Amino acid sequence: MLYGFMAYFDAPEKLLEAIKALKGAGYRHIEALTPNPVEGIEEVLGGNGRIPWVAFALGVLGAGLGLFLQVYTTLDYPMNAGGKPLLGWPAFIPVTFELTILTITVGIFLYLLYVNGLPLADHPAVRAKDYVRVLLDEYGLFVYASDPRFDLEATRALLQALGAEVEEVRRA
């Protein structure tokens, strides 16, 4: 059974062109696979997943957590330590800061996995014989067979026209 086409481009620019073209041609189920981030991919494929805002929210949460922790624990069993005031706020800065960072770090990492739909056990593109190339130096574009516009000849032609080296990926 056929998963789709894996198209290999030798330059990011070509990849972008191809994506634009396919989009223009009304393809939906396509996926770009690259060895490293490619500038300008959001414009064509979109979605950086609101990372900064999530991070900010986490930060607020963490800071709140830190402050609450210290204020609550101090007031829960008030004790005179060295004659310092009970809520000596300057002493609370380090912990608040650290907890903020800690929350963001852990949170954002999990969030990254979440929005990227990781972890994955398997992926059609990975089944491609030359898949490893897109992890090194080439820029891959995977067109799913499930795409309504998908057509063995037409699609292959289109991709090759865009300067790609095309490979059929099917279940072994």
Partner 1 sequence: MRRRNRWVRTLFWGGVLGIFALLGVVFSGVAVGAFEQRILPVDQPIPFSHAFHAGGLGLSCRYCHPSAERAAYAGLPPTETCMTCHTFIKPDSPKLALVRRSWETGEAIRWNRVINLPDFVYFHHGAHVAKGVGCAECHGRVDQMPVVHQPQAFTMKFCLECHRNPEAYLRPREQVFNMAYKPDPELGRKLKKIHAVRSAEALTSCNTCHR
Partner 2 sequence: MADRPHPDRDLIQGEWTEKTLVEKLLEPVEKPAPRPWRVVLAVGGALTLAWLYAIFVTFVKGLGTWGINQPVAWGLDVVHFVWWIGIGHAGTLISAILVLMRQNWRDSLNRVTEAMTFFAILAAATFPLIHMGRPQHFYWVMPYPTHMALWPQYKSPLSWDVLAIMTYITISTLFLYLGLIPDLALLRERSQGWRRKVYGWLSLGWTGNAVHWQRYRAVYVLLAGLATPVVISVHSVVSMDFAYGLVPGWHLTVFPPFFAAGAIYSGFAMALTLIIPLRRWYRLEGVVTERHLDWMAKVTLASGLGVAYIYLLEIFIAWYSAEPAEWAQQIWRMTGPYAPYYWAMMLINVVLLQTLWFPRFRKNLTWLFLFSILANVGMWLERFVIVVISLSKDFLPANAQLYFPTWVDWTLFLGTLGFFLFGLALFIRIFPPIAVAEMVHLFHKLRRH
Partner 3 sequence: MPERGYQESLEKELFREEFPFGPVSRRGFLALGLLALAACTPVVRRQGVPYVRQPEWVVEGGRAEFVTAVPHAGLAEPVLVCHYQERPLFLAPLEAAMSPYPLAGLYALYDPERKGKSPDWEGFFAAWRKALEEGETLLVLPRTTSPRLEGLLERAQARYPNLRVARFEAWSLESVYQGAELLFGQRAWPVYAPEKAEAVLLLDVDLHEHPAGYPWWAALSERRIPPMNRIYAVESGAGLLGAMADHRLALKPSALEAFLLDLAKALGVLPGSPVSDYGGFLSALVEDLLRGGVVLPGVHLTPAAQALAMAVNARLGAPVAYVPPLEKEAATSEAFLQAEGAERLVWAAEGLLPNLEGKRFAAHLGLYPKEAPHSLPLAHPLEAGGQYRDALGRLWPAQALVKPLYGGRSLEEVLAGLLGEDLPALSPEEKRALAEGRPLEEARPLALAPKPGLEGRLPPLRQEAPLELTLRPEASLYDGCYRKNPYLEELPRPLSRLVWDGALLMGEEEAEAQGLLSDIRARERRADLRRPLLRVKAGGREALLPLWPLPGLAKGSLLAPLSHFFHPEGVVFPAEVAATGRDYPLVSTQYHGYLGEVEAVKVLSEEEALKAEPKEEKRISFYPPWPQGEHAWAMSVDLSRCVGCGLCTLACQIENNIPVVGKEEVAKGREMHWIRIDRYFAEEGVLHQPVMCQHCEKAPCEAVCPVAATEHSTEGLNLMVYNRCVGTKYCSANCPYKARRFNFFPYAEAFIGQGDPRRAKESPLALLMNPEVTVRSRGVMEKCTYCVQRIEGARAQAAVERRKIRTGEIKTACQEVCPGKAIHFGDLLNPEDPIQAHRKEGRHYALLEEANTWPRTTYLAHLKNKNPKLKEAEHGG
Q: Which residues bind partner 1 (CB under 8 A)?
A: 77-79, 110, 113, 117, 119-124
Token pair for 67: 């402050």
Tell me, by CB under 8 A, how many residues bind partner 3: 9
Start-to-end C-alpha separation, the chain? 8
Amino acid at 155: T
Report if residue 84 touches partner 3, rule: CB under 8 A. Answer: yes
Please provide residue 4's backbone torsions phi and psi, each rounded to the nearest 5 degrees. Answer: 160, -165
Report if residue 121 touches partner 3, rule: CB under 8 A. Answer: no
Instruction: Return the residues of window 52-111 that contact partner 2 according to CB under 8 A.
Output: 52, 55, 69-70, 73-74, 76-77, 79, 81-82, 84, 88, 91-92, 94-95, 97-99, 101-102, 104-106, 108-109
Cα 70 off chain centre by: 35
**Please, which residues have CB within 8 angstroms of residue 150's CB and are 6 or more apart in sequence?**
4, 27, 29, 143, 144
Nearest distance from residue 72's CB to partner 2, in Å?
8
Closest to 6 (Cα-Cα) out of 148, 149, 138: 138
For residue 68, how many C-alpha atoms fall within 13 Å in the half-sphere facing its CB? 7
Report if residue 123 touches partner 2, rule: CB under 8 A. Answer: yes
Judged on CB neighbours under 10 Å (0-12, 13-18, 19+), 73 is exposed
Contact positions vs partner 3 (CB under 8 A): 77, 79-85, 88
Contact positions vs partner 2 (CB under 8 A): 15, 31-38, 41-42, 45-49, 51-52, 55, 69-70, 73-74, 76-77, 79, 81-82, 84, 88, 91-92, 94-95, 97-99, 101-102, 104-106, 108-109, 112-113, 115-116, 118-123, 125-126, 131-132, 134-137, 140
